């Protein structure tokens, strides 16, 4: 049995043994999830860790996470790590803070209303149809499902945001996004090396990758402005939205940041959720059979309509369970604005608190047999019986994911279409490894045989 200290009632948090100079960096940076899970099992749900220049509290305690993200959210701002994310996302919704964020959220929220989602759903169908056709041509071959999912969610995001196609730019987007994320994580995990990245070429490489993304988004905004056309997409909604107080529109730079944010936050996350779900599914043919039965009964070979999504309950359960085991946003960080206290735990001013959603979802305190893939955990009755803050793939509190319903409808649509057309088999002998960047990715992909 692991020794579990309840840190919530102790003033001094446990901490793993550390190196005098590197502190925990050498264990944490190369494999953060292993580091976190090991220490949670040895020290308890909340412990303190340190890398040069930064100390943080790591927790998977559901009550503490809820308190930080929701209960007393006014005292907790996004951490400095989000400043690193500005390298890609500028001052968009994910990274902005305070009153400015509130103003932007109010402006963007209506774009995700049920009526607008139903409109956006129309355009998703065509992308999914094309995807199924392309995959059909790969029958008998091996595909990297992580790559396939990234491609389809990127296409859906571009369609929903800009009513455009990515055409030849898809691979460029994929490479640039990976490169930028790896750079951001390097800066977050090894902050003392930041100055060197300007000399060893790493920063210039990031700049080139950013330019690729920036140019694609800029071109799409420019084309819309010049064409004078009006379309049913997120770009149009954000271009037309007016601030409540001034009645003014969003400045161009801000519009670009919001679109880059929605594109990035809106496709990688869903892609990873789908890829990991497939990884779980190929190991559970009995669950695939139930998925097929539901899709056959509700859809009979067709794509789902917006109204039919409600009936695809098992499909939703499978996706929810997939995101429990592999939450795409695997960690969420906050910093205390003022000193605080939570159930005997003293929180200092500026204390960095890392809410590890991955560890929360894998905690045996909240889930019996936590590592097992079991979509029954998400039946209506089971969800009702469990406190809602034991499951947080989309975060919690006012900074809860704005794209939750968008993501769920997109993933249900794709998964139901795929199970109706294909069977997949895991290619033997590959090394499936988690890469916890900003999102939780399969590091070397997941190769499946299409049948
Ligand atoms: C499976 C898919 C998704 C997952 C797991 C996910 C997860 C999350 C999480 C955990 C947060 C909160 C981060 C924090 O509190 O620090 C967040 C925020 C956000 N997400 Fe998502 N997301 C997904 C899909 C999407 C989609 C499809 C969009 C847009 C179309 C989107 C746009 C955003 C934005 C703009 C924010 C910032 C919201 C704010 O702070 O006001 N996400 N997401």
What band does 7 get if pLDDT is binned at 50, 70 and 90? very low
Ligand 1 atom closest to Cα of residue 410: 27
Residue to substitute in 401, 410, 411 for testing ligand 1 pocket (most ligand atoms within 8 angstroms of CB): 401
The three-class DSSP label of residue 222 is helix
**Selected residue with higher pLDDT from 188 and 309:** 309
CA of 94 to the centre of ligand 1 (A): 7
CA of 404 to the centre of ligand 1 (A): 7
Q: Return the residue whose CA atom lies nearest to atom 41 of ligand 1.
A: 399
DSSP 221: H
Instruction: Please determine, looking at this structure, whether the domain spanning 7-450 carries the CATH number 3.50.50.60.
Output: no
Quick one: average pLDDT of 329-338?
A: 97
Q: Return the residue whose CA atom lies nearest to atom 30 of ligand 1.
A: 266
1 pLDDT above the threshold of 90:
no
Q: What is the pTM of this model?
A: 0.93
The three-class DSSP label of residue 127 is helix
- The pair of structure tokens assigned to 251 is 């400045």
Quick one: average pLDDT of 261-269?
A: 91
Asked if 361 and 325 count as a contact pair (C-beta separation under 8 A), the reply is: yes
pLDDT of residue 166: 75
CA of 112 to the centre of ligand 1 (A): 12
Going by C-alpha positions, the residue among 213, 96, 264, 234 that lies closest to residue 164 is: 234
Q: Return the residue whose CA atom lies nearest to atom 39 of ligand 1.
A: 399
CA of 391 to the centre of ligand 1 (A): 15
CA of 143 to the centre of ligand 1 (A): 27
10 pLDDT above the threshold of 70:
no
Opening angle at CA 231, ends 413 and 168, nearest 5: 65
% of the chain exceeding 70 in pLDDT: 98
Within 10 angstroms of residue 40's Cβ, the number of other Cβ atoms is 23
The tens digit of pLDDT for each residue in 45-85 reads: 999 998 877 899 999 999 999 999 999 999 999 998 898 88
Beta strand residue intervals within 376-444, DSSP E: 424-426, 434-436, 440-442
Residue to substitute in 70, 92, 265, 391 for testing ligand 1 pocket (most ligand atoms within 8 angstroms of CB): 265
How far is residue 367 from each of residues 34, 138, 176, 331, 434, measured CA to CA in Å? 19, 38, 37, 19, 21
d(CA 235, CA 309): 25
Sequence-distant (≥ 6) Cβ neighbours of residue 384 within 8 angstroms: none
Residue to substitute in 263, 269, 278 for testing ligand 1 pocket (most ligand atoms within 8 angstroms of CB): 269
CA of 185 to the centre of ligand 1 (A): 18
CA of 122 to the centre of ligand 1 (A): 22
How far is residue 353 from each of residues 49, 68, 93, 97, measured CA to CA in Å? 10, 8, 20, 17
Beta strand residue intervals within 128-230, DSSP E: 142-144
Residue to substitute in 79, 154, 393, 403 for testing ligand 1 pocket (most ligand atoms within 8 angstroms of CB): 403
* Low-confidence winner among 8-22, 85-99, 338-352 (lowest mean pLDDT): 8-22
For the chain, the domains span 7-450
Quick one: average pLDDT of 436-451?
A: 94
Asked if 249 and 258 count as a contact pair (C-beta separation under 8 A), the reply is: no
DSSP 97: -
Ligand 1 atom closest to Cα of residue 411: 1
d(CA 86, CA 84): 5
* Low-confidence winner among 31-35, 173-177, 403-407, 415-419 (lowest mean pLDDT): 173-177
- The pair of structure tokens assigned to 389 is 């803050």
What band does 11 get if pLDDT is binned at 50, 70 and 90? low
Residues with CB under 6 A from ligand 1: 93-94, 105, 261-262, 265-266, 269-270, 273, 328-329, 332, 393-395, 399, 401-403, 406-407
% of the chain exceeding 90 in pLDDT: 75
What band does 2 get if pLDDT is binned at 50, 70 and 90? very low
Ligand 1 atom closest to Cα of residue 328: 5
């Amino acid at each position: 049995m692991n020794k579990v200290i309840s840190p919530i009632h102790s003033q001094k948090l446990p901490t793993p043994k550390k190196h005098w100079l590197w502190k925990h960096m050498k264990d944490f940076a190369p494999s953060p999830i292993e580091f976190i899970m090991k220490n949670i099992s040895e020290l308890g749900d909340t412990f303190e860790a340190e890398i040069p220049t930064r100390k943080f509290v790591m927790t998977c305690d559901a009550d503490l996470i809820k308190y930080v993200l929701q209960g007393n959210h006014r005292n907790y701002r996004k951490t400095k790590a989000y400043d690193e994310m500005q390298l890609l996302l500028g001052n968009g919704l994910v990274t902005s803070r305070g009153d400015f964020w509130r103003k932007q959220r109010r402006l963007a929220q209506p774009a995700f209303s049920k009526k607008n989602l139903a409109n956006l759903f129309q355009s998703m169908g065509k992308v999914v149809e094309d995807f199924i056709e392309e995959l059909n041509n790969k029958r008998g071959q091996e595909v990297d499902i992580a790559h396939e999912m990234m491609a389809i969610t990127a296409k859906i995001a571009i369609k929903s945001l800009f009513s455009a196609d990515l055409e030849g730019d898809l691979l460029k987007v994929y490479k640039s996004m990976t490169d930028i994320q790896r750079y951001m994580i390097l800066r977050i995990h090894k902050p003392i090396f930041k100055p060197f990245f300007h000399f060893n070429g790493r920063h210039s490489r990031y700049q080139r990758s950013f330019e690729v993304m920036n140019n694609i988004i800029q071109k799409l905004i420019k084309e819309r402005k010049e064409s004078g056309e009006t379309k049913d997409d997120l770009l149009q909604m954000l271009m037309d939205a007016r601030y409540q107080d001034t009645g003014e529109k969003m400045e161009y730079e801000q519009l670009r940041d919001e679109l880059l944010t929605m594109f990035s936050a809106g496709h990688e996350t869903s892609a990873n959720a789908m890829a990991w779900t497939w990884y779980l599914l190929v190991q559970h043919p009995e669950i695939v059979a139930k998925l097929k039965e539901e899709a056959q009964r509700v859809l009979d070979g067709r794509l789902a309509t917006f109204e039919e999504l409600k009936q695809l309950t098992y499909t939703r359960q499978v996706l929810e369970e997939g995101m429990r085991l592999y939450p795409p946003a695997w960690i969420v960080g906050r910093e205390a604005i003022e000193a605080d206290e939570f159930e005997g735990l003293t929180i200092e001013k500026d204390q960095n608190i890392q809410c590890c959603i991955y560890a929360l979802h894998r905690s045996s305190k909240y889930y019996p047999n936590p590592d097992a893939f079991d979509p029954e955990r998400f039946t209506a009755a089971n969800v009702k019986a469990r406190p809602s803050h034991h499951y947080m793939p989309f975060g919690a509190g006012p900074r809860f994911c704005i794209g939750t319903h968008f993501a769920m409808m997109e993933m249900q649509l794709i998964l139901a279409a795929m199970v109706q057309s294909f069977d997949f088999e895991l290619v033997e002998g590959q090394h499936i490894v988690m890469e916890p960047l900003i999102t939780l990715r399969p590091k070397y992909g997941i190769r499946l045989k299409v049948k």
